Chain A
Amino acid sequence: MRIGYGSRRLRKPFTLWRRRKKKRSFPRRLFCPGYSTVHETYRLANLDFTYSNLVIGIRRYASEIDGECFPITAPDGGERVYAKFCRALGDEEVKKLDVKAKSNGLIKDPISVLLQLSEKEAFNKALQTSSEDQNETTSAETSVMHEKLWVEKYSPCSFTELLSDEQTNREVLLWLKQWDASVFGSEIRSTTEEVLSALKRHSTPSHHKKSDSSFTRKKQFNRWSKESYGHSKNADVSNSNTTDDIDLWNKKSKLTGPPEQKILLLCGAPGLGKTTLAHIAAKHCGYRVVEINASDERSASAIETRILDVVQMNSVTADSRPKCLVIDEIDGALGDGKGAVDVILKMVLAERKHATGKENIENGKTSSKKERRTAPLSRPIICICNDLYAPALRPLRQIAKVHIFVQPTVSRVVNRLKYICNMEGMKARSFALTALADFTECDIRSCLNTLQFLNKRKETLNVIDIGSQVVGRKDMSKSLFDIWKEIFTTRKMKRERSTDASGSEAKNFDFLHTLISSRGDYDLIFDGIHENILQLHYHDPVMDKTISCLDSLGTSDLLHRYILRTQHMPLYVYFPSLVIPIHRRVAQIQKPIIEWPKSFHRCRTLLVEKQESLRSWHHKIPPYIGRHLSIKSFVEDSVSPLLHILSPPTLRPVASHLLSDRQKDQLAGLVMLMCSYSLTYKNVKSDPVLSNLREAAASDASLLALDPHLFDFISFKGHQFKHHVLALAMKQVLVHEVEKQKILQASGGSFGILNKPEIKKINQDLARKTNAASNESQRNPVTSKPPLVSVGIATTSKPNSSDVKKASRTALNFFDRFRKSRKDYEDPEDVQKRATAKRDSRPLLFKFNEGFTNAVKRPVRMREFLL
């Protein structure tokens, strides 16, 4: 404290420092060059070091200090002092401080250094452990990685190398080329001079029309001309075409628009090169292939964005070729793949609608505007599937151009395999390769994979049992149609047959057995056999083949029934073997036309329907009749006779007063009968079956048919029933009468009052006629009834008297029985009469006036009473 002046000044910043330290933040104003030194000196002071040598330098004014100095400002007072900078001394003190600090427990290294260290340590540790663990595996991996799959390595890279069927290849390419006009904006074919001149006349530089489809071909052209189609003249055409007049362009686009079917559907067994063809062909035509695979997300929204992206966007990157969408394995994922199908369908259908609308609109501009809105499909889409008949693809099949891949010839496959084997230095005899190709059904992928696998294990291809050797195949069970086809056709087994016949038989047996048992749907398989077997043209003069086949089917039915009843599921094992005798008997070389089994289901639904209608009708019949009538016996015995009765040929459709007494009786009888069996005629829409049966009535819009349609129960395919069909007018009369009769019966009590005189008369007549029934039947020999009728009726009806029973006039027979029940109704009628008589005996009756009173209130003068 040599300088009292300075000491007082010094204390201020010093206290400041202590306070600040507590707050753990430094005043901004203290930030200055050399701040850290100041900091250190303060700490120094804090630890009761001698700070005189430093402190000496603090002055009020900077000018007082010679040499380096820095300002220090106190925050509370705003006083500023200047400290002399003494570097050497400061450093020394810092070192001292550090030592001291360490002894106090502070860390030497800054935290960042420590963090780095720990990180490094952890890294080292991890490195060590991983290297210890995976020493071997990594080395193995690297060796595998060196080798590409042969399938990829030798996949064809140009159109000419394609292995698949030439015809299909060409057609796919043609289809793709059809897009050229709309995608690239110009057709490859040379344009006529006339058009060219017209173009030159019309072309205006200001009119720069850039439609979606007029993809600039200019850029691409040089490259393509090198490749395959170099018409140098076309460059000019395409240039002028971009600045085309709209009308002309429309006309042209109509001529050379995208192909009719905008979607190509390739289908076929795995390994035939569908995907390869799609890629190669698209590349060949100058498209950039965008593939959506089974592994991609295929929900509807995701696929839509992708398709739109492909169809509408042009990428700005170097590869500005138009894109071609390849959707691989579209049938694979049913749930999500269906989404893709739906999106595509929607786009195509929108396009169709737009196309139809376009014809109406002549103005080109509006059409182009519309084009933008509906997002038409302007790029080719190729879909690839394995199973053409997958249910998800049904709608797509109708609008797409379908190409079914056939197996390439074995020789082609073998040639390619041989070539690859040579290239790889693997020796394989062509005989073995042929066997392999045959076994895998020309699935070149599985062939190559097998070869590569064998090559890897240093084995040679064994001809004798390829099946036992590892042949990687894409997992897939055959469709039902394929199975049926296999059953009904003989496989070509030339080679095996030449070696030994019994072996081929056994092989065939095994093949079919595994085929069917891997599929599983035995029920359906047998249904399909049953449906199709009789349509086959196999040579069978004495029907013994048919008999044995049907025998097998019967056995399968029995077995199936037994399994279902006893739940012995293990017995299902024996189903596939039942197919094999059928195959042996029936199989032929030519391919059958196989239909999906529908008849069983159809028959079943029909049966249920008819049973239901019969049952409901049976419930409607009054129980005293219905109980004699079991549905089974009715269908088997009495339908036909009943129909005969219901449509007597003697009834004439004339006015009722023109009918003779006998005819009136007949009519009344019929009405009664229909009533008691709760039959009536009903308006039906003229359905084709009916109109076939009744040609005469077919022209009528409204047909009257029996309400429970009894004719259904006796109509068989190809069987014309001989029943007389009543005329329409007669039916109408009957409907009317039956309705009337029903009402009468319903209001049983008021029978006598409401009964119309004519009906009464008929009733009386009938009562009289029953006695003379036998007479009548003699007089009326024309209406001959089959003997079955009386028997059939006798079971259902209860004849009231023996003398009427012998009468063959069954209508009356029915009526008699009904009349007997009518006698019960006689009684209430009498009583009713008595009641009315009794009522009439009362002199006065009360008539209730409801809702109002007749009393009139009006003012009356007293005078009126007096007068």
Chain B
Amino acid sequence: MEIRVKCRCGEDECSEWAIVELQGVVETQASFEGSIQNLEIGRLCHTESSQETYTFTVGYHELIGSKVTLKKPLLVLKKLQLDEDSGKGTELEVVGIIRTKILFKTRPKPLISGNNLSLSLFCS
């Protein structure tokens, strides 16, 4: 079977993607059930230090991860349905290439937000 892979951009300019791999699940709160569009998942920060670390804040958890190069790079394809030309059913379009992933494999660090809370806890 012949698969045609179409790449619009040139070989060098192919957009680079990255995978965020989490040890866990990102869940929605019960109150936001059904309306996940346009919700901020979290904040991914990249620190330029000796070794590249990435912090990812989801909810009240902070994850710390690192960049890992994949052994085999992956392609991100987009399936195009070509109904008009019945001869050729589907066509795959390269969207991007994935060479690295950001791996968060450690236990998340809970964040205690707000000064007043920590202070009151101290009081009690």
Contacts and interface: CB of A to CB of B under 8 A. Distances in A.
Interface of A: 748-749, 751, 824-825, 827-828, 831-832, 834-835, 838-840, 842-850, 853-854, 862-863, 865-867
12 contacts: A825-B124, A831-B120, A834-B116, A844-B39, A844-B42, A845-B58, A847-B27, A848-B61, A853-B23, A865-B77, A865-B92, A867-B90
Indicate the member of B22, B23, B40, B114 with the most A CB atoms within 10 Å: B23
Contact of A847 (B25, B90, B92): B25
B124 A824 contact: yes
Contacts of A825: 124
Contacts of A832: 117
Contacts of A827: 120, 123-124
A748 B89 CA distance: 66
Contacts of B42: 844, 846
Contact of B58 (A748, A844, A863): A844
Given A834-B117, A844-B39, A845-B58, A866 B79 contact: yes
B26 A838 contact: no
Contacts of A853: 23
B121 A846 contact: no
For the residues of B in contact with A, the DSSP-based class is mixed
B124 A842 contact: no
Interface stretch (B6-14, B28-36, B45-53, B94-102): B28-36
A849 B90 CA distance: 37
A863 B1 CA distance: 9
A386 to B, nearest CB: 75
B107 A844 contact: no
Nearest to A835: B117
Nearest to A847: B25
A776 B3 CA distance: 90
Main SS at interface, chain A:
helix
B117 A847 contact: no
A866 B39 CA distance: 31
Contact of B28 (A751, A843, A849, A862): A843
Given A843-B28, A845-B59, A846-B22, A828 B123 contact: yes
B25 A838 contact: no
Chain A to chain B: the 3 pairs with minimum beta-carbon distance, closest first: A846-B58, A845-B59, A848-B24
Contact of A849 (B3, B25, B39, B92): B25
B61 to A, nearest CB: 4
Contact of A845 (B22, B60, B107): B60
A839 B120 contact: no
Contact of B117 (A831, A846, A854): A831
Contacts of A839: 59-60
Nearest to A855: B21
B26 A845 contact: yes
Nearest to A748: B124
Contacts of A824: 123-124
A619 B61 CA distance: 41
Given A835-B114, A835-B117, A842 B59 contact: yes
Nearest to A825: B124
Nearest to A830: B120
Interface of B: 1, 3, 22-29, 31-32, 36, 39-42, 58-61, 63, 77, 79, 89-90, 92, 107-108, 113-114, 116-117, 120-121, 123-124
A233 to B, nearest CB: 104
A846 B124 contact: no
A835 B123 CA distance: 16
A333 B123 CA distance: 72
B73 to A, nearest CB: 17
A843 B32 contact: yes
B27 to A, nearest CB: 5
Contacts of A838: 113-114
B48 to A, nearest CB: 24
A865 B79 contact: yes
Contacts of B108: 846, 848
Nearest to B60: A839
A619 to B, nearest CB: 23
B116 A843 contact: no
Nearest to B39: A843
A863 B24 CA distance: 30
Contacts of B29: 840, 842-845
Contacts of B77: 865
Contacts of B23: 848-850, 853
A847 B24 CA distance: 5
Contacts of B31: 840
B32 A831 contact: no
A815 to B, nearest CB: 20
B24 A862 contact: no
Contact of B121 (A749, A865, A866, A867): A749
B3 A866 contact: yes
A846 to B, nearest CB: 4
Contacts of A846: 22, 24-27, 42, 58-59, 61, 63, 108
Contacts of B36: 843
A844 B26 contact: yes
A842 B61 CA distance: 11
Contacts of A863: 1
A848 B40 CA distance: 18
Given A824-B123, A844-B42, A862 B3 contact: yes
B67 to A, nearest CB: 19
A115 to B, nearest CB: 104
Contacts of A843: 28-29, 32, 36, 39-40
Contacts of A848: 23-24, 61, 107-108
